[in-house]
Structure 1
Amino acid sequence: MSRTLSEIQAKVDRGEAVVLTAKEVGEILDGEVVLTLEDVDVVTCATRAVMSGTYAVFSFPVAPPGTFRRATGVWLNGVPAVVGPCPNERLGVLDLIVFGTAASREESRDGGGHLFRDLVEGEEVRVEVETEGGGDLDLDLSLADMPTARLFGTRHSFKNYSAFVNPSEERVATIFHATTFDPCWRGASVSGCGRLNPLENDPLLDTIGVGTRVLINGAEGFVLGRGTRSSPDRPNLSGYADMHGMDPEYMGGFRTSAGPECISSWAVAIPVLREEILERVAAPEEAIPLPVMDVVARKEIGQATYADVWEGTDLAVSFEPGECKRCTACRPEAICPTGAIGFKDWRPTLDRRRCFNCGLCATSCAGDVFRARLGSLRFAGREVPIVVRQSDRLRAERLAEELKRRIVDGSFRMTEMAERISP
């Protein structure tokens, strides 16, 4: 038995379609219920993670025509922009590209990801412009002043990430950890939302192709094609969306010991066209491999599964400010990769909208202010505790719920792909 996307969309339009999130599918199957094509029409999937391959394209006026010939250098909140590709000679308009991993010259731990979230939150950012022949400019602008602001992903939503450990006897600075990596197998860094990830649910790209409508950071966008470094075993996607419609809670910057990184979120609707698609959607966490890599040698040294990461663990960090021991220096505040931890009136605070639920605070707090069960990786006869997560499963579940709501109420319509993507 098979059906088409147009047939499923027609059921949605009539209010007859069954739309479930990948989490809901998992809960049903965990109850040992057998699902058929008559039981589900669409499954919404999502992932939220550190995604390095992110950049933004901006175009906006900064001065009246004729004020300067060309811009030679531009910084937004200290984050460097690449000027071009169109020089816009004498028009007073900038065309810019900003990389999500570009570091600010004002605060090297912050970068493009932090800038993108600031803009989407409606904050004004400082724009510094160096021009050909002098006459530099300095002004404050918000996203509302930027007619064009598009976010692009060059490699997003990997089907399967890797976990990292440090078997060496030296501490290691890496993008895979917010602090330097402890030596001698003392902790693991993990990424990936397991059975919730879109490409875990459609690894053969039967329903996701060029032109597929998706949500990127909560805004409607489209798949452009294969992402860079995509492979049949580990496919990923490229895509884009307009920043004006994004939700800041699904994006941002993530500080690592090797420089700033960028957080992005994707949600994708998987129309259940055939039984084979439903079988892939039904895969449990323990069936999804998680390669474990030596962070120094960058070679695989074992395999765990996503059951180690997401089963029996806490998706959110619990916060008990009354448990604070008043340390001379607060370690969690110093190393929080999203700057979500602070102090007010000598009491710790946690900005839940900025918290990534990475769990690093729980593994570094001298008291019990921050707590979370993060699980352990079991591989090659070892058990290594997870100390930091670079994916936020809780928000991924929320975004999948949001996509489901939009499909049901008709505000999001699934699209036929313009062209298949070879996995």
Structure 2
Amino acid sequence: MSEQKKVRKTVREINDRIRKGQAVVLTAKEMIDAVKSMGKVKAAQEVDVVTTGTFSPMCSSGIFFNIGQPEPPLIKAGKIWLNDVPAYGGLAAVDGYLGVTEPAEDDPLNKVFPGRFKYGGGHVIEDLLNGQKVRVRAAGYGTDCYPRKLLEREMALEDFRSVELLNPRNGYQNYNCAVNFGEKVVYTYMGPIKPRCANANYATAGALSPLFNDPYFRTIGLGTKIFLGGGVGWVIGAGTQHNPKPKRTPRGIPLTPSGTLMVKGDLKGMQARYLRGVSFLGYGCSLSVGLGIPIPILDEEMAWFTGVADEDIMIPIVDYGHDYPHGVPKNHGHVSYAELRSGTIRVGDRDTATVPLTSYTYSLEIAQTLKQWIEQGAFTLGEPQEMIHSE
């Protein structure tokens, strides 16, 4: 076939190849060399799916859950706590939502250092996945149909009627490299940032990151099937703070924080290995989420996008000591992901140590695991029913 001839595939055709065991699947890391060696047209002809992965703190995450009714009398649970972490109870009688950044009311670290927290909603989720029971407390004001006012019980994951991981904002498409030009440590969701640019913290999996491999959301939308927390999940639309109109490089890579995803999946099918409760000194709690998206290679343009390398990805440097708390962050230039991974970058007139919040090892593991699932025919692609705006 001529290098000039256009390549066109459909998700249905690729799924047929997956079911027959004929699909060619590469991780995003492997696709870099494939595009460099074969060119984008030949790579599009040869490769059917590219798998991506990231494992990073994602604060806008949580679970919708149903604790089930007790023996009569029944309860309308207006307030709910899981291991003393408050959940939102303003739903139906025994439904609730637990956010991963919500801290425990009796957090032991907060008692010693007010404003600092060790245990929160993300840790509750990890405990449930590790097979531990959590203490569930609920309180209601009492009605004729729901007269009970208090409920307390120990519950393991299997005891919940349902538990859905539903994350309003995951998989950020680019994010800040955090530095501090000030004279004192600042405690942030990017971790502690030392004064005088002593460290530069960043959060992305670079070329493995899902949304860098489909920068214009040509294959990702409502109904896209994904790896989520070690199980199967779904994209249900754009995430909160989705910015479809960032400045971009010629390759389509956004130069500022831009696209986001809202995702969901059954927590009972997930693994604690890929959902880890974390806490940041001086900031609070969160959850590290394992997320992987298969990118179907529909044409040579998608092959080109999935061939993106670390040196192609430019990340904005933002001063969290001065600019960030006072409004729109100011851009102090860009640095490539390849430079960040080297361990040291140049900021102004000094060398600054870089600190990743995203695990590259786990991100690659997720991409490789998703590749194995597809090659084994255990995972087919979900065709989007509604696309996400990218421009």
Which range, TM-score by smaller chain?
A: 0.7 to 0.9
- Structure 1 partner of 2:46: 39
Question: Cα–Cα, structure 1 residues 381 and 206, in superposed 2: closer, same or farther, change >3 Å?
Answer: farther
- Structure 1 partner of 2:71: 64
Asked if the contact 2:178–2:193 (Cα under 8 Å) also holds between the matched residues in 1, the reply is no
- Matched position secondary structure for 1:36: helix
- Structure 1 partner of 2:123: 114
Asked if the contact 1:163–1:290 (Cα under 8 Å) also holds between the matched residues in 2, the reply is yes
What CA deviation, in whole Å up to 9, does each residue of 1:8-43 have, x standing for no partner? 11222222211011122235457x454522221100
**Pair 1:75 & 2:106 matched:** no
Please give the residue correspondences for 1:375-386 in structure 2 after superposition, counting only pairs within 5 Å: 375-380=343-348, 382-386=350-354
Please give the residue correspondences for 1:346-365 in structure 2 after superposition, counting only pairs within 5 Å: none
Unaligned runs of 5+ in 2: 1-5, 108-116, 143-147, 247-257, 325-329
Please give the residue correspondences for 1:217-228 in structure 2 after superposition, counting only pairs within 5 Å: 217-228=229-240
- Structure 2 partner of 1:301: 332
Aligned with 2:90 (options 84, 107, 112): 84
Question: Cα–Cα, structure 1 residues 158 and 308, in superposed 2: closer, same or farther, change >3 Å?
Answer: same
Higher RCO by CA contacts (8 Å cutoff, separation 6 or greater) = 2
**Pair 1:143 & 2:157 matched:** yes
- Matched position secondary structure for 2:384: coil
- Structure 2 partner of 1:185: 197
- Structure 2 partner of 1:326: none
- Structure 1 CA distance for aligned equivalents of residues 59 and 389 of structure 2: 23
Asked if the contact 1:195–1:283 (Cα under 8 Å) also holds between the matched residues in 2, the reply is yes
Aligned with 1:238 (options 262, 272, 277): 262
Question: Cα–Cα, structure 1 residues 8 and 381, in superposed 2: closer, same or farther, change >3 Å?
Answer: farther
What CA deviation, in whole Å up to 9, does each residue of 1:349-392 have, x standing for no partner? xxxxxxxxxxxxxxxxxxxxxxxxxx022355543111x32111
Q: 1:236, CA displacement in angstroms?
A: 1.1
TM-score normalised by length of structure 1: 0.79
- Matched position secondary structure for 2:43: coil
- Structure 2 CA distance for aligned equivalents of residues 72 and 421 of structure 1: 35
- Structure 2 CA distance for aligned equivalents of residues 176 and 77 of structure 1: 26
Q: 1:137, CA displacement in angstroms?
A: 2.7
- Structure 2 CA distance for aligned equivalents of residues 118 and 248 of structure 1: 8
Asked if the contact 1:22–1:44 (Cα under 8 Å) also holds between the matched residues in 2, the reply is yes
Aligned with 2:55 (options 20, 30, 48): 48
Aligned with 2:315 (options 255, 278, 290): 290
Paired residues in the alignment total 349
- Structure 1 CA distance for aligned equivalents of residues 132 and 33 of structure 2: 40
Asked if the contact 2:315–2:334 (Cα under 8 Å) also holds between the matched residues in 1, the reply is yes
- The two structures, once aligned, show a CA RMSD in angstroms of 1.7
Unaligned runs of 5+ in 1: 89-93, 313-374
Amino acid at match of 1:242: D
Aligned with 2:283 (options 258, 271, 274): 258
Amino acid at match of 1:144: E
Amino acid at match of 1:145: D
- Structure 1 partner of 2:298: 273
Asked if the contact 1:302–1:380 (Cα under 8 Å) also holds between the matched residues in 2, the reply is no
Question: Cα–Cα, structure 1 residues 27 and 111, in superposed 2: closer, same or farther, change >3 Å?
Answer: farther
- Structure 2 CA distance for aligned equivalents of residues 384 and 392 of structure 1: 20
Amino acid at match of 1:286: E
- Structure 2 partner of 1:104: 104
Q: 1:415, CA displacement in angstroms?
A: 1.5
- Structure 2 CA distance for aligned equivalents of residues 281 and 10 of structure 1: 22
What CA deviation, in whole Å up to 9, does each residue of 1:247-299 have, x standing for no partner? 11111211112111121121111000011111111121111011111013122
Amino acid at match of 1:301: H
**Pair 1:4 & 2:10 matched:** yes
Amino acid at match of 1:141: M
- 110-119 or 59-68, larger mean C-alpha shift: 59-68
- Matched position secondary structure for 1:280: helix
Give the % identical residues: 31
What CA deviation, in whole Å up to 9, does each residue of 1:163-182 have, x standing for no partner? 100100122121111xx421
TM-score normalised by length of structure 2: 0.85
Question: Cα–Cα, structure 1 residues 43 and 60, in superposed 2: closer, same or farther, change >3 Å?
Answer: same
- Structure 2 partner of 1:339: none
- Structure 2 CA distance for aligned equivalents of residues 158 and 174 of structure 1: 17
- Matched position secondary structure for 2:186: coil
Q: 1:135, CA displacement in angstroms?
A: 5.2
- Matched position secondary structure for 1:61: coil
Asked if the contact 1:304–1:379 (Cα under 8 Å) also holds between the matched residues in 2, the reply is no
- Structure 2 CA distance for aligned equivalents of residues 67 and 194 of structure 1: 50
- Matched position secondary structure for 2:61: strand
What CA deviation, in whole Å up to 9, does each residue of 1:294-352 have, x standing for no partner? 01312221210100233x5xxxxxxxxxxxxxxxxxxxxxxxxxxxxxxxxxxxxxxxx
- Matched position secondary structure for 2:333: strand
Asked if the contact 1:77–1:106 (Cα under 8 Å) also holds between the matched residues in 2, the reply is no
- Structure 2 partner of 1:196: 208
